């Protein structure tokens, strides 16, 4: 059993112990109530102040990063003060004698000691896992650098450690290691957008896990994961708060300083009882014991739920994978597939489309297209052993209302970016499409011309006044609003130059990085529209890549003209602010003869764009 597996096993064991402890406290409360019936009221005057003190000790033991430890001394001292009051007062009653010798109390103390041992094991195993992972990374870097100087990035180390625990959870779910490739992806995009959360991402799974790790006061090494631990702690605090805690943990207040644990000072602390509750046999002290037991159960269930939800997510991903791999899907399998996607998607644009779609025949043809691409990449991966690819999607395109967030085109972290090339309301010709496909087109090479012979505006007048010296990155656009981009299939070129995917090595591309040209030429399905919003295409691609070890930058080689003269007529200024917008009847081209390294591709593009 690996160290990560042992660590996970100990976490579940700790949860089991807490639940057993809660049962003992409830039993103790019942015994107290039973004895209360037999006691003379005058003998049972006391106080439950000390029980409140014990609850404060519980509160001082909950791990969090929300307050940076500022609240720990307060609750710790508060608990100490109350238990001090309890120790100073002697109550000689039958109840106290029973509590002192109660087998239930001794069982609870035994459970508490075992919980403390498990806590120590968890912390030791986590440190052992970090050490093992660091040694493995150092050996890997030493091999890659051929003995040159190297150092392990603390954030990379944290990521690898978290990956190991996630993979251990996957194993516990019955999945094999090769089925969790998605966790080889980095959790962070850049310093300024470190906690970027695509609408359907494994990042939420990671946040759930690190919340549990933070609960056990397990600490990362890197600064980035410290912030991720904060987010995980906040999420866990929110979940705990939903359970309605009644003791010192009420409201989910979490403090730095240790694992949740009940410091059993009850035999010494409970030496006074408050005035017996009139008309029933439940003392305030026994009710406080019940509340504490309930809270321990709620916290344990929350932790178990966090871990179980991660396991369920893995099982859901396995179902997605099986459906993607099997093109002969039943209607029920397709329905379950869409339900699973909706379960994890929080992008309202994508959800709106998924909720409206009653038949997904063409959508699954897109899935099949991209799965076929994945199989082709597997064959070529032996040559480059790279997991990053550039996908150039060639299609007919147009734009329409309503506007939507640019992030809708990035439904999963497997698509690093979606890059658009022409300004809004602008067509492209075969020359531009060729430059996009090969990666050779630079911003300074673009030329704008008029496509309408009757247009009174000269060619120079069609060049937009605002033209950024870069392409239109949807990742950088983020929450900015863009038009809805529609793509429709190309007609097959008469010379049949396209026989399938075209794999190119761009002149300016990264060495060993694949460029794949995909023409939108799905076989037509009778009775179905073949025109799709671009976010549906990127969703299908993202889902396929999410299950397999590839990440992509998606490049669109398509016209972005208005679908009708009235469409977006009042959005010109808004589109200029997002990137750039041209006047009607504008096309983007580039000087001919600049780059014809792939003549078959150029002929194919001329056949579909220059008609």
Kindly provide the residue ranges of all beta strands, DSSP E only, lying in 407-480, ordered along the sequence: 415-420, 424-428, 447-450, 472-473
DSSP character string of 462-527 = GS-S---SS-EEHHHHTT-EEEEEEEEPPPPPTT----S-EEE--TTSPTT-EEEEEE--PPP-TT
8 Å CB contact between 124 and 307:
no
Paired residues of 586 in beta bridges: 426, 450
> Contact at 8 Å (CB) between 269 and 53?
yes
Q: CA–CA separation, 534 vs 397, rounded Å?
A: 9
In 3D space, the residue among 249, 168, 267, 177 whose CA is nearest the CA of residue 213 turns out to be: 168
Cα–Cα distance between 380 and 503 in angstroms, integer?
A: 9
The residue to which tokens 């976490």 are assigned: 11
Helices (H), 60-194: 72-87, 94-101, 103-144, 154-172
User: Which element (helix H / strand E) includes 588?
Assistant: strand 581-589
pLDDT of residue 283: 60
Q: Which residues pair with 44 in a beta bridge?
A: none
Peptide bond into 340 cis (omega under 30): no
Q: Give the pLDDT of residue 513.
A: 60
Angle of helix 203-215 relative to helix 223-242, nearest 10 degrees, comes to 80
Q: Identify the residue whose tokens are 């997510």.
A: 313
If DSSP codes are grouped into helix, strand and coil, which group holds residue 424? Answer: strand
**Dihedral angle, C-alpha 390, 393, 394, 400, nearest 10 °:** -130
Q: Which two tokens stand for residue 37?
A: 């019936």
Instruction: Assess contact for 609 and 493: CB atoms under 8 A.
Output: no
Torsion angle defined by CA atoms of residues 298, 304, 310 and 313, in that order, rounded to the nearest 10 degrees: -80
pLDDT of residue 557: 95
CA–CA dist 31, 218 (Å, integer): 37
Of 606, 565, 600, 602, the closest CA to residue 583 belongs to: 565
With CA atoms as reference, report the closest residue to 520 among 537, 504, 535: 537
Contact by Cβ (8 Å): 308, 325: no
> Can you tell me the distance from the alpha carbon of 519 to that of 267, in angstroms, rounded to the nearest whole number?
77
Rounded Cα gap, residues 413 and 188, in angstroms: 10
- pTM, two decimals, is 0.75
CA distance 151 to 221: 14
User: From the first residue on, what is the mean pLDDT of each consecutive set of 10 residues in the chain (611 residues)?
Assistant: 94 93 85 68 41 37 35 33 34 54 80 86 94 87 70 85 88 65 42 38 73 86 82 79 59 36 34 33 65 83 90 86 91 92 86 82 90 80 61 94 92 89 94 90 92 86 90 94 92 60 61 76 68 93 82 93 82 88 92 75 82 63
Q: Alpha-carbon distance 315 to 343, whole Å?
A: 13
Look up residue 522 and give its DSSP letter: P
Structure tokens belonging to residue 57: 């000790």
């Amino acid at each position: 059993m690996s160290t990560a597996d042992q660590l996970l096993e100990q976490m579940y064991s700790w949860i089991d112990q807490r639940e057993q402890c809660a049962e003992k406290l409830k039993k103790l409360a019942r015994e107290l109530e039973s004895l209360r019936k037999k006691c003379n009221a005058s003998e049972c005057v006391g106080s439950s102040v000390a029980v409140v003190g014990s609850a404060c000790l519980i509160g001082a033991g909950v791990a969090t990063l929300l307050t940076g430890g500022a609240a720990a001394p307060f609750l710790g001292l508060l608990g100490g003060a109350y238990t001090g009051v309890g120790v100073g007062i002697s109550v000689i009653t039958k109840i106290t004698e029973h509590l002192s010798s109660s087998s239930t109390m001794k069982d609870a103390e035994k459970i508490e000691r075992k919980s403390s041992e498990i806590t120590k094991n968890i912390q030791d195993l986590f440190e052992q896992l970090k050490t093992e992972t660091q040694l493995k990374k150092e050996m890997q870097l030493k091999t890659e650098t051929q003995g040159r100087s190297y150092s392990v990035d603390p954030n990379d180390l944290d990521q690898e450690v978290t990956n190991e625990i996630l993979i251990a959870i996957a194993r516990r779910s019955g999945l094999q290691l090769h089925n969790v490739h998605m966790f080889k992806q980095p959790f962070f995009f850049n310093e300024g957008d470190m906690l970027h959360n695509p609408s359907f991402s494994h990042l939420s799974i990671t946040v759930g896990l690190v919340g549990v790790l933070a609960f056990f006061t397990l600490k990362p090494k890197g600064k980035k994961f410290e912030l991720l631990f904060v987010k995980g702690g906040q999420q866990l605090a929110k979940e705990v708060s939903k359970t309605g805690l009644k003791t010192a943990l009420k409201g989910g207040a979490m403090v730095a300083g240790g694992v949740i644990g009940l410091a059993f000072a009850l035999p010494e602390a409970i030496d006074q009882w408050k005035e017996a509750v009139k008309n029933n046999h439940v003392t305030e002290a026994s009710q406080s014991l019940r509340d504490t037991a309930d809270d321990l159960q709620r916290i344990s269930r929350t932790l178990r739920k966090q871990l179980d939800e991660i396991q369920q997510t893995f099982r859901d991903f396995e179902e997605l994978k099986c459906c993607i791999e099997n093109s002969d899907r039943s209607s029920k399998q397709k329905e379950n597939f869409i339900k699973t996607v909706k379960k994890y998607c929080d992008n309202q644009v994508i959800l709106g489309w998924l909720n409206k779609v009653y038949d997904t025949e063409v959508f699954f043809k897109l899935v099949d297209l991209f799965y076929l691409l994945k199989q082709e990449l597997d064959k070529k991966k032996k040559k480059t052993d790279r997991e990053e690819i550039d996908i150039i999607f060639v299609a007919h395109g147009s734009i329409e209302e309503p506007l939507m967030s640019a992030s809708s085109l990035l439904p999963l972290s497997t698509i690093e970016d979606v890059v658009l090339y022409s300004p809004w309301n602008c067509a492209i010709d075969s020359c531009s499409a060729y430059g996009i496909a090969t990666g050779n087109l630079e911003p300074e090479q673009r030329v704008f011309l008029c496509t309408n012979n009757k247009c009174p505006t000269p060619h120079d007048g069609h060049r937009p006044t605002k033209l950024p010296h870069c392409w239109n990155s949807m990742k950088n656009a983020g929450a900015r609003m863009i038009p809805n981009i529609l793509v429709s299939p190309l007609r097959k070129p008469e010379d049949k130059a396209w026989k399938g995917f075209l794999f190119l090595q761009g002149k300016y591309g990264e060495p060993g990085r694949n460029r794949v040209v995909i023409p939108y030429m799905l076989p037509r399905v009778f009775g179905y529209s073949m025109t799709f919003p671009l976010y549906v295409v990127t969703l299908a691609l993202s889902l396929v890549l999410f299950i397999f070890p590839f990440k992509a930058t998606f490049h669109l080689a398509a016209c972005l003209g208005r679908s009708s003269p009235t469409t977006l007529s009042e959005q010109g200024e808004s589109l200029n602010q997002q990137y750039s917008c041209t006047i009607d009847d504008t096309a983007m081209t580039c000087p001919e003869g600049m780059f014809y390294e792939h003549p078959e591709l150029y002929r194919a593009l001329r056949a579909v764009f220059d008609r």
